[in-house]
Amino acid sequence: MPEKLSLSDRADITDLLARYCVYLDEGEADAWLDLWLDDGVFAGASPQPLRGRQALAQLPVRSLSTGSRHLLGNIVADYGASKDEIVVRCYNLVTSWLGGGRFNSMAIARYELVRVGDSWKIRSNRIRRMMPGEPDPNMFPEGFCYPADQPTKFPPV
């Protein structure tokens, strides 16, 4: 069993993940980008991974314009290769609040965090969306397992 996170590290990453959601949904691009390493990677939401600040900068604008709200739950966090790395696995519920409010998607997320000085930064966020009904399998990014009864395989980063 992996070593449990210290209470201080758990509090820090809980705060980071909450800020991730709020900054993303409120379109606070600079604050959201500051949570990432400069060469951070977000994979699974688009056909190709988004790499680096310039590519990542489009996400807060898109989230704000679609009325998205992200909520992370069932957060499991373990140290990685050292106590300066943390792997977070969680569920990400996304809703949209334009036109009355509706379910958007549920995703399984895997964050890789690294300690930089006295704070934590996101190295990568890899997601796999869980789609209701019978969606078109051609719409999924590379690495997305379809149908949903296949084992989870995160997109390559």
Alpha-helix residue ranges (DSSP H) falling in the chain = 7-25, 29-33, 52-56, 58-65
pLDDT surpasses 80 at 155: no
Q: What is the per-residue pLDDT for 128? A: 86
Q: What is the per-residue pLDDT for 139? A: 57
Task: Tell me the pLDDT of the chain averaged across its residues.
Answer: 86
81-128: pLDDT as tens digits: 999 999 999 999 999 988 888 888 889 999 999 999 999 999 999 998
Distances (CA, A) of 30 to 41, 89, 92: 16, 25, 22
15-54: pLDDT as tens digits: 999 999 999 999 999 999 999 999 999 998 877 899 999 9
All structural domains of the chain:
7-132 (3.10.450.50)
Look at residues 6, 4, 14, 11 and name the one whose alpha carbon lies nearest to residue 73.
Answer: 14
Question: Is 73:90 a contact under the CB 8 Å cutoff?
Answer: yes
The 3-state secondary structure of 10-48, one letter per residue? HHHHHHHHHHHHHHHHCCCHHHHHCCEEEEEEEECCCCC
